[in-house]
Amino acid sequence: MITAKDIRRILLVSGWFMILTFPILGMRVDPLSDNIIWRLKNVMWVGIGTAVLQSLPHLWLLYLSIQAWGIRLWHHFRGTSPHKIVKKKAHRDSLINRVITNPRQRAIVCAVVLLLTIIYPQVVNEYQINIMIMALLYIMLGLGLNIVVGMAGLLDLGFVAFYAVGAYTYALLNLHYGINFWMALPLGGLFAAIFGLLLGFPILRLRGDYLAIVTLGFGEIIRVVLENWTELTNGVAGIVNIPGPTFLGLGLTPSQKILYLYYLMVLFVVLTIFVVNRLQDSRLGRAWLALREDEIACQAMGIDKRRTKLAAFSLGAFWAGIAGVVFAAQNRSVYPVSFSFLESAMILSIVVLGGMGSIVGVIFGALILILLPEYLRELSQYRMLFFGAILVLMMIFRPQGLISVVRRKYDIDSIKAEKKEGGA
Amino acid sequence: MSEPILQVQNLTMDFGGIRALNKLDITVHSGEIAALIGPNGAGKTTFFNCVTGIYKPTAGDIFLTPGKGEKPVSIKGLKPNIVTSKGLSRTFQNIRLFPKMTVLENVMIGRHCRTKTFILGAIFRTPRARREEREILLHSYRLLEKVGLAEFANDFAENLSYGAQRRLEIARALATEPHLLLLDEPAAGMNPQETEDLNDLIREIAGEGLAVLLIEHDMKLVMSLSQRIFVVDYGSRIAEGTPEEIRNNPAVIKAYLGE
Amino acid sequence: MDFDYQYFIELFASGLTKGSIYALIALGYTMVYGIVGLINFAHGEIYMIGAFVFFLASSLLTVLGLPLWAMICIATAASIFWAGGYGYTVEKIAYKPLRSAPRLSPLISAIGMSVFLQNYVMLGQTEKYLGFPEVIPEFDFLEPFATTFSSSDFVIWMTTVIVMLILTWIIKFTRTGKAMRATAQDRTMAELVGINVNRIISATFIIGSALAAVGGILISSHTGSIHYYIGFIAGIKAFTAAVLGGIGSIPGAVLGGLVLGMAESFATGYFSSAYEDVFAFSLLVLILIFRPAGLLGHAETEKV
């Protein structure tokens, strides 16, 4: 319920936010006349918005008490006891997690999703296909970063650097040596992985927050070098006329090419999911998790910290590199500006929103964050604002992400059975 | 007396200007249960950290015999994971499990240094990788049965009771196939029944030929378990001997009770 | 070839100026890190907001026709007030709920805050560069040195020295300063002896933000333009300075700022200006690898 004290607090906080946003949102200098343009409406909206947001919990309580009152009334007239229906629900995993852990349901869902993905380009136009290709690309990037951040717990803020390495590998090799997409694909991944190793080797002994800032610095270094090393990269003008992927040397029409790229992306994503899934349940995947949980205990249990971290770092980089090659092939051009820190922040948002360490989570995260701004065009300028807010809000209200990770449950009965066999 | 498994000579550890360990000599023989006791802050855990490679000692030597009939090798200054792979494992005073992993997975981590599968093996699930994975699983499950936690195999480690967490740490340490097990206050926070069970568990482990060195404040447990006791105070060894000798040693009584 | 002393001194002066600004921002990083153990990623954004508020306030006051000195005083006060307000609010929203969360959580939240504030200013103001008024007049007594450094360089150096002295005084001799040092050493213990830790943390954020605002005003007046992105790069560089000096150490932040400023100035002066940022980041990587505790910090051993 709302008391006078609550109202005072709401007004106080709203007032504070109005004061806070007053100069940035409420004023503007006209660059021609140097006069002030007042936009006090904005400030008013901030005040109203803050007040509404703050009252939401109170309204929710109000709703609950009305509901309780209603229930009591209902039972009163029917002559039943209201206490019977208040049964505590046993704790259960979320629906998605229950499906994931059940092999049969999982197979069905996977098949349906795959089928939908295959049909999708037949029912929508080229524009939509292109957007979906973008989303698939980000799923791949997200899954790559997920290995590093979600599983191994290494906050990598320069992930975009490896993406850039992949893209430029293809662009440059094609420009100078005429190497085609299929040759460039493994090379891009490999180069990115080598960069990952080179960077990872010296810095992986750093503490978590230092690691974050050094990777961020590395990402910026790569971008600045791409911008300024004009002889090699053509600077900010970028490299254009990169050919798309070829298909058995057949000449494809532009629309066929898009379709082809789409199915290629689907294939890559499926492959990525397959690999990440296998890694997750392997000796290496467990070591990553353990490393994330407690480095010292992990080492004391015989895990080589450096080797394990390097594996995560370079695998993540490998995937970013491959995604970079695809990106270059899809856009037919690469520019340094595509690889700014904000790109890294966006990929991180995908992983954080979906749920760190969760494959399904990353897929949902990428679909939401890439498709939503595309379809809500008028909101697209607020995109980065939204990503920033997501990082903050998720950490505060749901740090495990939309879909929390389930650990594999081993079938104890089969272990017992096997043990008997082994013993006999 | 059987051959020594751990020989620590002249071990010294300085933190800034503070000498935490002062020329410590400790020898543990294979198959025995030994205990390291001393007042709080005497340097017992620091000793464990130096031996297991978490701290780099300032001076001194540490030798470990990595298996029956083999020559002792120096493990001083080696990384913790190398020390573990040579056959020395430990538990922690303030439990350090992997809370968001299952009980079974915690033990499976211990198998890491005895197995090999890496990136490619994990992705392609080669026959060798499958065999290894099965071995990890069975071995770990067996250890869970040994410490009595098999029924919790699929629960998160953080949901176990305090005593159970301590037992899980022992199982995890055993999974690395050590020749010498270092237990840092295994009975801390346990009730009398749990301590009793722990006593049996440690005896059982030692019965299988493992040497055990424990730090413990529960004197009843120490006296009943150990064949030999080392007493440290202010980083120096002030006594060594059988429980009977230690009980009557005036230096020990002085260290514990003051003047 | 003769050694060009004049050029060397010019580079030295510009390095000193850059370094002073880095030092002012680095102080905020280092104070916050010392007390809550968090890299306050949004700190660079506070610096940028401080510069924007000054720009808006000074434009308004000029339109109203106030004399220059009054305009500078009021606009600076406004800038400090709003920067402090943003610092305080950011802490309350994005960091306070995460005090007991795993280490990565507040860091991710801080990055989110940084991205948010950048775009907030971009949307609220403009994505173009804006001309910033030159607020520092030419002093006559600096005339003989005009070829080497300008009065704005001089003012920046002086301000940094004065601010440093005030800050040292606050931390060494005031009650709040003592409480800050206590909180930095052991938050739980400080709470137990009756220090209002939340208030101290807020005070730290406000002081740090105020310093950032001063830095923002000075550098924008020096370069003559502002942009919503200036906080990001300056923030990373100031963080580099803080780490270089030893994070958590206040003299370290100043020393780190000066060393970084000099290094950048000479590197761009004698090699290439395009790679200015690369020098700074490479320096950061090298320090963290070879001397993670920085020049004046001391290494911590993790308790096991």
CA distance C7 to C13: 10
CB-nearest partner of A342 from C49, C115, C126: C115
Identify the closest residue of chain B to A307 by CA–CA distance. B118
| Per-residue pLDDT at A377 | 72
CB within 8 Å: A407 and B102: yes
**Number of B–C residue contacts, CB under 8 Å:** 6
What domains does chain A contain, in order, with CATH numbers?
A: 4-78 (no CATH), 96-397 (1.10.3470)
Chain B residue at shortest CA distance from A311: B119
Confidence of residue C249 (pLDDT cuts 50, 70, 90): confident
**Per-residue pLDDT, A84:** 54
Residue type, A365: G
Sequence ranges of the domains in chain B: 1-87+178-259, 96-177
User: Pick from C239, C222, C249: which is nearest to C280 by CA?
Assistant: C239
Residue A90: its pLDDT value, please? 47
Burial readout B72-85 (b: 16 or more C-beta within 10 A, e: otherwise): beebbebbbbbbbb
Architecture of domain B96-177: 3-Layer(aba) Sandwich (3.40)
CA distances from C110 to A389, C96, C103 (A): 10, 11, 12
Q: Tell whether B146 is within 8 A of chain A (Cβ).
A: no
CB proximity list for A59: less than 8 A, separation 6 or greater:
none
Model pLDDT, residue B204? 92
Look up residue A144 and give its two tokens. Answer: 């790559």
* Rounded CA separation C64/C45 (Å): 28
Q: How far apart are CA C159 and CA C143, in angstroms?
A: 20
Average pLDDT, chain B: 91
Decide if B215 contacts B184 (C-beta within 8 A): yes
**pLDDT value for C301:** 58
Contact check, Cβ <8 Å, B45/C304:
yes
Residues 6+ apart with CB under 8 A from A302: B81, B84, B85, B89, B110, B112, B113, B114, B176
Strongest mean pLDDT among B233-237, C50-54, C221-225: C50-54
**A214 touches C: beta carbon within 8 Å:** yes
User: Is residue A265 within 8 angstroms of chain B, CB to CB?
Assistant: no
Q: Does C304 touch chain B (CB under 8 A)?
A: yes
Chain A residues inside the 8 Å CB shell of B90: 300
* CB nearest to B123's CB, from A275, A287, A296: A275
- With contact defined as beta carbons under 8 Å apart, do C265 and C18 qualify? yes
What is the amino acid identity at position A60? W
Supply B107's token pair: 């033990």
CA-based nearest distance C53→chain A, Å: 6
**Looking at domain B1-87+178-259, which of 3.20.20.150, 3.10.450.50, 3.60.20.10, 3.40.50.300 is its CATH number?**
3.40.50.300
Strands of the sheet with B4-15, listed across from one edge: B18-29, B4-15, B59-64, B73-74
Equal fold, B1-87+178-259 vs B96-177: yes
pLDDT of amino acid A167: 95
Q: What is the mean pLDDT of residues C177-194?
A: 90
Helix axes A254-280, A359-375, angle to 10 degrees: 150
In a 13 Å sphere around the CA of B161, the CA atoms on its Cβ side amount to: 9
Which residues in chain A show pLDDT less than 50?
85-90, 423-424
Q: Which long-range contacts (CB under 8 A, 24 or more apart) does B157-165 make?
A: B157/B97, B157/B98, B157/B99, B157/B100, B157/B101, B157/B102, B157/B103, B157/B106, B158/B97, B158/B99, B158/B100, B160/B103, B162/B95, B162/B189, B162/B190, B163/B189, B163/B190, B163/B191, B163/B194, B163/B198, B165/B95, B165/B97
pLDDT at A88: 47
Distance from CA of C34 to the nearest CA of B (A): 21
Contact (CB<8Å) A301/B109 = yes
Residue C170, C-beta contacts closer than 8 angstroms, at least 6 positions apart: C176, C177, C207
CB proximity B61 to A under 8 Å: no
Chain B touching partners, 3 or more CB pairs below 8 A: A, C
- ipTM score here? 0.91
Q: Do B123 and A311 touch (CB under 8 A)?
A: no
Give yes or no for A153 touching C (CB within 8 A).
yes
Residue showing tokens 């250890």? B143
Residue A29 near residue A36 (C-beta atoms within 8 A): yes
- CB pair distance less than 8 Å for C274 and A202: no
Structure token digits, residue A169? 């590998």
Q: CA nearest C38: which of C25, C48, C28? A: C28
Q: Please say if the pLDDT value at position C297 is more than 90.
A: no
Q: Which residues touch B18 (CB under 8 Å, ≥6 apart)?
A: none
What is the arithmetic mean of pLDDT over B71-88?
92
Q: Kindly report the nearest CA distance between residue B55 and chain C, in angstroms.
A: 9
- Option in C97, C102, C119 nearest A384 (CB): C119
Chain-chain contact of A214 with C53 (C-beta, under 8 angstroms): no
Q: What is the pLDDT of residue B47?
A: 94
A246 DSSP β-pair partners? none
Q: Is residue B178 predicted with pLDDT exceeding 60? A: yes
What's the full length of chain A, in residues?
424
User: What is the model's pLDDT at position A424?
Assistant: 39
CB contact under 8 A, B122 and A293: no
Indicate the range of A376-380, C91-95, C244-248 predicted with least confidence.
A376-380
Q: Which chain B residues contact residue A305 at CB under 8 A?
A: 81
State whether the Cα torsion B237-B238-B241-B246 is positive or negative: negative
Q: List the single best residue of B119, B158, B176, B182 to mutate versus A (max A Cβ within 10 A).
A: B119
CA distance B212 to B169: 14
pLDDT digit string (tens) for C96-138? 999 888 878 888 899 999 999 999 999 999 888 888 887 777 7
CB contact burial B90-104 (16+ within 10 A = b; e otherwise) = bbbbebbbbebbbbb
CB within 8 Å: B45 and C301? no
Average pLDDT over residues B118-122: 88
Closest-CA residue of chain C to A379:
C123
> Quick one: pLDDT at residue A423?
47
CA–CA separation, A103 and A334 (whole Å) = 42
Matching residue, tokens 């009398």: B192
Domain boundaries in chain C?
28-228
**What is the identity of the amino acid at B85?**
S
Q: Which chains touch A (3 or more CB pairs under 8 A)?
A: B, C
- Contact status of C113 with chain A (Cβ, < 8 Å): yes
Average pLDDT over residues B149-173: 92
Contact residues on chain B for A315, CB-CB shorter than 8 A:
119
The size of chain C, in residues, is 304
Nearest to A278 among B96, B125, B153 (CB): B125
The CA distance from C114 to the nearest CA of chain A, in Å, is: 7
Which of A143, A271, A283, A284 is the mutation pick for testing B, counting most B CBs within 10 A?
A: A283
Record: contact C301-B55, CB cut-off 8 A: yes
